[in-house]
């Protein structure tokens, strides 16, 4: 089974939970990217791994024309509901259906680390980018900088050990990995920043639903009951209880921009 098919199925298990309770915490990263890009009506942007379409909506509000692709039909359905006038396609990051030099900007937020081959996905993004165009990559910073890692580890305890190099949340977070890939792809690095993206949940239920919308939780559901997976997440959340019903997790993401 291809990476596109596998990841598309996983991230379609609970797309509403992801869009409502998880993706909004990426807003600091999205807003930082928009400040750097300064989009307008002259820009054609490809949102590669657009997910539920939140960044797409923000880019459209800046005036850009946007096409979104994703492997997950469930997330694409949410994206289309959010952006009914935009084009969304179910496609593979490693085989983009566009001509060379088509886009002014290509964005990839929390997507390239799930490609079967990051190098192929980056090569495809570079191919469809116009000379002088910019590529944006947003990923988790290294695991020790994000408290959400503890929740993901708890979910991971329900899963078989992954083989080396398997796609996952932190697959590209190693120091220098993205910069080296830019150089190998003949891209000129322009910008790098570590961006705090805190998660604040007003009750435990929302926190659990957020992580139940992730790919790792979907994998766990193949072997365990929903109640077991939810209980595992609930127990991991107790370390981040603040007061009343509030749960707070501090996290960091990395944002990179390069030019072709």
Is 214 part of any domain?
A: no
Mean pLDDT over residues 94-112, rounded? 97
Is 215 part of any domain?
A: no
The per-residue pLDDT for 3 is 65
pTM (2 d.p.): 0.94
The per-residue pLDDT for 7 is 85
- What value does the mean pLDDT of the chain take? 94
Is 235 part of any domain?
A: no
Please report, in angstroms and rounded to a whole number, the separation of the first and last CA atoms in the chain.
33
Helix, coil or strand: residue 199: strand
CB atoms within 10 A of CB 245: 13
Confidence of residue 221 (pLDDT cuts 50, 70, 90): very high
The per-residue pLDDT for 168 is 84
The per-residue pLDDT for 160 is 83
pLDDT tens string 228-241: 999 999 999 999 99
Is 156 part of any domain?
A: no
Helices 118-127 and 177-184 pack at an angle, to 10 degrees, of: 50
Sheet holding 199-201, edge to edge: 199-201, 246-249, 241-243
Is 239 part of any domain?
A: no
The per-residue pLDDT for 231 is 98
Using the predicted structure, report yes or no on whether residue 26 has a pLDDT greater than 60.
yes
Residues constituting the chain: 260
Using the predicted structure, report yes or no on whether residue 187 has a pLDDT greater than 70.
yes
DSSP state for residue 11 in the 8-state scheme: T
Is 142 part of any domain?
A: yes
The domain total for the chain is: 1
For residues 96 and 128, the answer to whether their CB atoms sit within 8 Å is yes
pLDDT tens string 36-90: 999 999 999 999 999 999 999 999 999 999 999 999 999 999 999 999 988 999 9
Q: List the structure tokens of 12.
A: 């379609």
Is 104 part of any domain?
A: yes
What is the span of the domain harbouring residue 50?
3-146+163-199+251-259
pLDDT tens string 194-219: 999 999 999 999 999 999 999 999 99
Confidence of residue 2 (pLDDT cuts 50, 70, 90): low
The per-residue pLDDT for 4 is 77
Domain CATH code at residue 180: 3.40.50.150
Is 138 part of any domain?
A: yes
pLDDT tens string 160-169: 877 666 778 8
C-alpha 87/C-alpha 68 separation (Å) is 6
Mean pLDDT over residues 230-256, rounded? 97
Using the predicted structure, report yes or no on whether residue 150 has a pLDDT greater than 80.
yes
């Amino acid at each position: 089974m291809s990476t596109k098919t596998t990841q598309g199925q996983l991230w379609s298990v609970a797309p509403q939970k992801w869009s409502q309770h998880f993706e909004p915490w990426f807003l600091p990263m999205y807003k930082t990217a928009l400040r750097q890009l300064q989009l307008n009506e002259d820009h054609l942007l490809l949102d590669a791994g657009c997910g539920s379409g939140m960044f797409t909506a923000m880019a459209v509000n800046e005036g850009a024309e946007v096409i979104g692709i994703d492997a997950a039909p469930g997330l694409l359905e949410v994206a289309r509901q959010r952006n009914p006038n935009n084009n969304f396609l179910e496609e593979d990051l490693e085989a983009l259906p566009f001509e060379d030099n088509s886009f002014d900007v290509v964005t990839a937020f929390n997507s390239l680390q799930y490609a079967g081959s990051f190098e192929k996905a980056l090569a495809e993004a570079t191919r469809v980018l116009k000379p002088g165009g910019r590529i944006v990559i947003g990923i988790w910073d290294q695991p020790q900088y994000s408290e959400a890692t503890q929740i993901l580890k708890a979910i991971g305890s329900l899963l078989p050990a992954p083989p080396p190099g398997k796609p996952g949340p932190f697959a590209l977070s190693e120091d220098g990995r993205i910069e080296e890939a830019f150089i190998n792809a003949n891209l000129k690095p322009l910008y790098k920043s570590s961006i705090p993206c805190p998660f604040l949940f007003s009750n435990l239920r929302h926190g659990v639903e957020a992580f139940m919308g992730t790919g790792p939780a979907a994998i766990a559901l193949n072997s365990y009951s929903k109640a077991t997976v939810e209980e595992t997440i609930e127990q991991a959340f107790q370390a981040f209880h603040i007061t009343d019903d509030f749960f707070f997790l501090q996290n960091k993401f990395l944002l990179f921009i390069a030019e072709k």
